[in-house]
Amino acid sequence: MKIDKLIEMSKVQLEDELSSYQDSLLNLKFQKSLQQLEDSSQLSKTRRNIAQIKTVLRNCDPKSKNNQDNIK
């Protein structure tokens, strides 16, 4: 998913997407363990999407912004 699209989404939409990707990752892990996974690159793509969503959510949170300023 493109970062530009993620930035335009609301916090609720981002949390829904995050939940969806986490469920998808769990299913992919089950498929891998049962040797039914056809495209193993889906695991890394899903992890990357989860990381991007978490990053956007963290940047939207005003509390984390203050914490980052204090660290610097």
Domains and CATH numbers, the chain: 3-71 (1.10.287)
pTM: 0.79
Task: Please give the pLDDT value at position 71.
Answer: 38
- DSSP secondary structure, 4-55, as one string: HHHHHS-HHHHHHHHHHHHHHHHHHHHHHHTT--S-THHHHHHHHHHHHHHH
Whether the pLDDT of residue 70 is over 50: the answer is no
Task: Please give the pLDDT value at position 72.
Answer: 38
Q: What angle do CA 58, 14, 33 make, to 5 degrees?
A: 95
The stretch 47-59 carries a mean pLDDT of 94
